[in-house]
Structure 1
Amino acid sequence: MAEFIESKLEIVMFPWLAFGHLIPFMNLSNEIAKRGHKISFLLPKNAEIRLQKLNLYPNLITLHKLTIPHVDGLPYGAETTADVPGSLETLLATAFDELYDEIKSFLQNLKPHFIFFDFAYWIPDLAKEIGGIKTLSYLVVSPAIMSISPDKATFMTSTSAELVKPPPGYPSTTVVLRESEAKLLSFLFHEFGKGVTFQERMNKGFTQCDVIAVKTCRESEGIFCDYVATLLEKPVLYTGPVIPEPKKEQHELSNWLEKFEPGSVVFCVFGSQMILEKKQFQQLVLGFELTELPFLLVVKPPEGTNSVEEAFPEGFKERVQEKGLILDCWVPQLEILSHKSVGCFVTHCGYGSMWESLVLCDCQLVLLPRPIDHILTARLMEQQLKVGVEVEKDENDLFTKENLCKAVKCVMDKDSQIGCLVKENHKKWKELLSSPGFMSNYIDNFIKELHGLLVEKI
């Protein structure tokens, strides 16, 4: 804990309506509150129960429930991305933006020192109108995603071709998309909210805010943060990975995992928003069967089906029943990764999962990304940090059971040179990231820098 004495900060957290954003914001809130600062956390009503369980300092972190306006086309009661298919997220963004008046009133009454946001691109203008509030855009994905051209600051790129060919000065030749993946960028130019594209939403937030903060550390992604800071001509602060401690209690899957040898189980979990096509789902499960290793897969039912079992290939369930477990439910990922029986983690490369896998487990890492930000995170892990192996895909961004099996075998085979290399690199990163004081020093320095920004204002 920092030994200096400073005035206490008052901060408002206003993340996008997705648990992949709400949870990182809450984890950061806990670290800030741990040091005595006050947080007002704005969240939709139906997210309160889950976030309440994560609030470690309820005396300092106040959950302020928002009523998400209904927008024609949205299911009634929809308040987070977990409540809607991806095709309706633009309507959820419209509802999100309609919170403007409620947020304005809240900020006028509270007058906090800072408001932290991500998708609410209108926050900087609103804060300027009120006066006296600093705005911080908190990035909970890899800063490698911000390929910003020198002449015009943009989120990622203005055309798909430009991202495949990074702009001048971009600090990496490896953490980029391949040509076959460029088509995945089309979402950038689609409307995301009324009258605004996703690209425009992110551009304005980054260019108009006072400061950007990133859920990372200088040792892993400093070159990207320096690049962004230079091109945007504003501070880019580090919070560190901000990973909560896993719970020590026994979980219900422990007994199943205990049946297998240490380091033998392949664990795969995809985020709640990642839904596979039925053919890709079948390639996934057949790929695990091909490895002949015990496996635990946590995945949503594929498109057009009501359950995972409905989509099983013929005879698959009977063949793997002794050593394969497939679930469609929430599982305690941190605790499973820490279990001695788990030896390989097949990850969708969500940014939170990346940090958890680096810090909390000794597993071999196999990378199976789908959305753009996950793909760039996979490149970071394989090419820059050299801690995992990505599953090979074809020009249509599809993988086969053979390629999935090949990637798992590559890291799990004791005689594999690549497996030994990524294991050694993983060990080095884990030792650094989990070393005494590493995480807490980042938070202490982050809070010092926030105080410095307030001094500048005066």
Structure 2
Amino acid sequence: MSKLEIVMFPWFAFGHMIPCMNLSNELAKRGHKISFLFPKNAKIRLQKLNLYPNLITFYKLTIPHVDGLPYGAETTADVPKSLESLLATTFDELYDEIKSFLQNLKPHFVFFDIAYWILDLAREIGGIKTLFCTVFSPAAASIPFVKSPDKTASTAAELVKPPLDYPSTTVVLRENEAKLLSFLFHEYGKGVTFYERVKKGMTGCDAIGMRTCKEIEGTFCDYIATHSEKPVLYTGPVLAEPTKGPLEEHGLSDWLEKFEAGSVVFCAFGSQMILEKKQFQQLVLGFELIELPFLLVVKPPEGTNSVEEALPEGFKERVQEKGLILDCWVPQLEILTHKSVGCFVTHCGYGSMWESLALCDCQLVLLPRPFEHTLIARLMEQQLKVGVEVLEKDENDLFTKENLCKACEMCDE
């Protein structure tokens, strides 16, 4: 097979860039050349993932400043959720720089996700194929074909039922319609909604790449292929292999080694999830109720400057021998595959789903927060039957410490 020249241009979120980096490695393994475009402050995280530096070349982009953003902000990790739309504006202002790059390189393919304007550049330059490379689950990626922008004032009963095998998908959409509408139709960049970015990308590209396999989510992918009228290509989970070295950062190796095999409960909420203070306190108190050693990786709750200041009174002293709480990046794959870890409490991000399914033997407790993660939780519990979801909520739709403890105990039954 002839070798391809591919440009990888993901959205400036690590949840998008890292999967694209893993996919780049898989392509480079087959001899293809990759030009990976990213902001300069992402280099440290991405460079250590580059397994084929002779075939994968990094190009650091000059990120323009937009009023309202902190100076130096280049990725979603640098800004709160409320400022992501402004970050998307800076992303779109790279149009001329990307155009010049593509004109000089003349690649065979551009892989993109929310940069819908890549389609115009590819047509203008000519000879470039485009692949919409989504990191979302196929269930979430199918939503733009379920819900149309003229339905923004609709009631839950008017939601179009997707012709899918998974009835829980429709239930989740109905239960979360307000969140769905807000997510899809709010401005994400200047003068464009998130819905428009995804819909234009999926209907205007040459092909769609899905980070899954047909055996697990083929029904959703068939639905997307039918409604987008584009071929859907399966990439598989494309995960990085966990390293075998010790977990030296933050003393994790020594801490985990203190406990028996399969006894530690590990909980991680991703790089962007921020809990309300009340919900955070229910989370940590739930781990105390479980009476097992636990490792929690979570951002400081809303309205606080640190995790420690948000802890319930006396909590730190009560769990100091068996509980470790961190608010920084950790090597999740290496932790999941450590012999001491026996249970993984996950927010059901798509990357975490694949890591837990493909690379570890942990019991899974599903604690989805954004509505799109609820789709993944229902897939894992109801269709794949690989985990237990914390379903019971209080009157404010918040989980309680008792229900978290109950779900973890069910995993051991």
TM-score range, shorter chain: over 0.9
For residues 301-352 of structure 1, the C-alpha deviation after alignment (integer angstroms, 9 at most, x for no partner) is 1111111110110111111111111111121111111111111000011111
Check conservation: 2:144, 2:195, Cα contact below 8 A: no
Determine the C-alpha separation between the residues in 1 that align with 2:203 and 2:25.
27
Check conservation: 2:132, 2:209, Cα contact below 8 A: yes
Is 1:173 the counterpart of 2:172 in the alignment? no
Determine the C-alpha separation between the residues in 2 that align with 1:269 and 1:138.
25
Determine the C-alpha separation between the residues in 1 that align with 2:371 and 2:174.
13
Give the deviation of 1:167 after TM superposition.
2.3
What amino acid is aligned across from residue 405 of structure 2 in structure 1? C
Pair 168,241 (structure 1): closer, same or farther in 2 beyond 3 Å? closer
Determine the C-alpha separation between the residues in 1 that align with 2:375 and 2:351.
14
Aligned to 2:20, the other structure's residue is in SS state: helix
Q: Percentage identity across aligned positions? A: 77
Residue 242 of structure 1 corresponds to: 238
Among residues 115, 118, 127, which one is paired with 1:123 in the alignment?
118
Aligned to 1:175, the other structure's residue is in SS state: helix
Check conservation: 1:390, 1:407, Cα contact below 8 A: yes
Determine the C-alpha separation between the residues in 2 that align with 1:147 and 1:81.
24
Determine the C-alpha separation between the residues in 1 that align with 2:157 and 2:46.
36
Among residues 62, 85, 101, which one is paired with 1:90 in the alignment?
85
Check conservation: 2:210, 2:232, Cα contact below 8 A: yes
Aligned to 2:354, the other structure's residue is in SS state: helix
Give me the TM-score of the superposition, normalised by structure 2: 0.94
Give the deviation of 1:213 after TM superposition.
0.5
The size of the alignment, in residue pairs, is 406
Determine the C-alpha separation between the residues in 2 that align with 1:44 and 1:370.
28
Give the deviation of 1:11 after TM superposition.
0.2
Determine the C-alpha separation between the residues in 1 that align with 2:346 and 2:301.
17
Give the deviation of 1:179 after TM superposition.
4.2
Residue 334 of structure 2 corresponds to: 335
What amino acid is aligned across from residue 396 of structure 1 in structure 2? N
For residues 11-34 of structure 1, the C-alpha deviation after alignment (integer angstroms, 9 at most, x for no partner) is 000000100000000000001001
Check conservation: 1:46, 1:79, Cα contact below 8 A: yes
Check conservation: 1:127, 1:135, Cα contact below 8 A: yes
Aligned to 2:167, the other structure's residue is in SS state: coil
Determine the C-alpha separation between the residues in 2 that align with 1:219 and 1:341.
31
Determine the C-alpha separation between the residues in 1 that align with 2:120 and 2:4.
22
Give the deviation of 1:291 after TM superposition.
0.7
Residue 17 of structure 1 corresponds to: 12
Give the deviation of 1:353 after TM superposition.
0.7
Residue 366 of structure 1 corresponds to: 365
For residues 275-298 of structure 1, the C-alpha deviation after alignment (integer angstroms, 9 at most, x for no partner) is 111100000000000111111101
Pair 260,164 (structure 1): closer, same or farther in 2 beyond 3 Å? farther
Residue 76 of structure 1 corresponds to: 71
Is 1:293 the counterpart of 2:292 in the alignment? yes
Pair 55,251 (structure 1): closer, same or farther in 2 beyond 3 Å? same
Determine the C-alpha separation between the residues in 1 that align with 2:333 and 2:37.
26
Give the deviation of 1:262 after TM superposition.
1.3
Determine the C-alpha separation between the residues in 2 that align with 1:234 and 1:333.
34
Give the deviation of 1:220 after TM superposition.
0.6
Determine the C-alpha separation between the residues in 1 that align with 2:153 and 2:242.
41
Is 1:135 the counterpart of 2:134 in the alignment? no
What amino acid is aligned across from residue 53 of structure 1 in structure 2? K
Give me the TM-score of the superposition, normalised by structure 1: 0.85
Write out aligned runs for 1:23-422 (5 A): 23-147=18-142, 161=155, 165-176=159-170, 177=172, 179-185=174-180, 186-252=182-248, 253-392=252-391, 393-394=393-394, 396-412=396-412, 416=413
Aligned to 1:21, the other structure's residue is in SS state: helix
Determine the C-alpha separation between the residues in 2 that align with 1:248 and 1:52.
19
Alignment gaps of 5+ in structure 1:
1-5, 417-458
Give the deviation of 1:117 after TM superposition.
0.2
For residues 362-400 of structure 1, the C-alpha deviation after alignment (integer angstroms, 9 at most, x for no partner) is 110001111232221111111111111111234633111
Check conservation: 1:180, 1:397, Cα contact below 8 A: no
Give the deviation of 1:149 after TM superposition.
7.4
Give the deviation of 1:163 after TM superposition.
9.3
What amino acid is aligned across from residue 14 of structure 2 in structure 1? F
